[in-house]
Structure 1
Amino acid sequence: MFQIGSIFVPVTNLAKAKEWYTKHLGVKEIDSWEGGAGFYFPTGSVQLGLMEVSEPQPTDFNIGNGQKNSYYNFVVQDIHEAYDHFSQNDVPTSEIHEFGGMKFFDFFDPDGNPFSVVDEDLSSPFHKENVRKMQEKDQH
C-alpha cells in the first residue's frame, strides 16, 4: 500500500546543490519550483527533492555514545567503486566500515549533510534480493 516516494534534503544554495547532486549522485532533474527541485535516480523508484533553506538543517540524529545516524542511506553494489568516485572528486567521506556483513561509509554534501552508502552482503536479510523474496512471499 505505501512506499517511499521522495526524500527531501535541505540545502542552502539550490543552484550549487543541483549541480553537486547531479554530478556526484547521477540524478536527473524532473522539474523545479520556487525554492526547490525534484530529481530521479537512474534506477529505483524513490525520488530526491532539494529544498532551499536559509540555514543548514540536520539530516541525521543522535543514537547515543556520541554517534549519529543518517535518516536514510544509499545502496550500492560495489562500495569500493562508490568510495573511489567520491574520493576522486574531493567529496569528504569517512572510512569504509564493516558491520554484520554490511560495508558502509558516510559522505557529505556542500552543506555538510551526512549520508551513508551501504553495500549489503547477499547473506544479510536486508539485502535487496532477500527483501524482494519476502515481498513476493507476502503477495501469495
Structure 2
Amino acid sequence: MKTPIKNRIGGVFVPVRNLEKAKEWYSKILGLEGGEIFFGHLYTAPMEGTAGLVLDTMPKWRNENGNISTYQVPSIQFVTNDIHASYEFMKVNDVELVTDIQDNFYFVFKDPDGNLLMICEETA
C-alpha cells in the first residue's frame, strides 16, 4: 500500500516560554524577517529548506505547574558557510555557548529557553 504521508518535514516545533521574546531572539540570530503569529501561541518563521521553524508556547503540553520540558540534546541543526564567523557572531550577541567549535565543524548553544541547538558548517 502506498503511504499517504509525504517524505518532507513540514516544520520544526521549538518549545518556548515567551513568544515575543523568542521571536525577537530567533529573528536576530537567524536574520528572520516576516512570519506570522497564530492562535496567540505559535510563531511561524520563514525558513529555507523546510516549511518553517515554529516557536510554540505549547499550552496543551504543559504540566500541572505550567512548565514544559526544553530540548536537552541538540535536536535542530542550523547551517553556516563559516563556522568560525558564526561562533564569533554568537559570542558578540551574548548567546550561551555550550561547546567550543568541535572537529572544526560544529558547536552547540542554548536559546533563551534553554533548548540546545547546533550550528554546523555546510560541506560541499
Aligned equivalents of 2:112 and 2:52: distance in 1? 20
* Range with bigger deviation, 105-114 or 46-55: 46-55
1:35: which partner in 2? 41
Q: How far apart, in 1, do the equivalents of 2:77 and 2:111 lie?
A: 13
* Contact 1:37/1:50 (<8 A) preserved: yes
Greater length-normalized contact order (CA 8 Å, ≥ 6 residues apart): 2
Q: How many residues align?
A: 110
TM-fit CA distance, 1:46: 4.1
TM-score, normalised by the number of residues in structure 2: 0.78
Task: Name the CA distance, whole Å, in 2 between partners of 1:77 and 1:106.
Answer: 16
Larger fraction in helix: 1
What is the CA–CA distance in structure 1 between the aligned matches of 2:116 and 2:21, rounded to whole Å? 17
1:7 aligned to 2:12? yes
Q: Which residue of 2 aligns with 1:57?
A: 69
Residue 29 of structure 1 aligns to a residue in which SS?
Answer: coil
| Distance of 2:75 and 2:37 partners within structure 1 | 24
Q: What displacement does 1:121 show?
A: 4.1
Q: Which runs of 5+ in 2 are unaligned?
A: 1-5, 59-65
Give the structure with the higher percent strand. 1
Q: Distance in 1 between matches of 2:68 and 2:8?
A: 27
Unaligned 5+ residue runs, structure 1?
Answer: 61-68, 123-140
CA shift, 1:29, in A, is 3.2
Partner of 1:104: 106
Q: Which residue of 1 aligns with 2:27?
A: 22
**104-113 or 21-30, which deviates more:** 21-30
RMSD of aligned Cα (Å)? 1.8
CA separation in 1, counterparts of 2:115 and 2:90?
15
Q: Deviations over 1:21-64 (max 9, x none)?
A: 001111223211121110013x434410000144342324xxxx
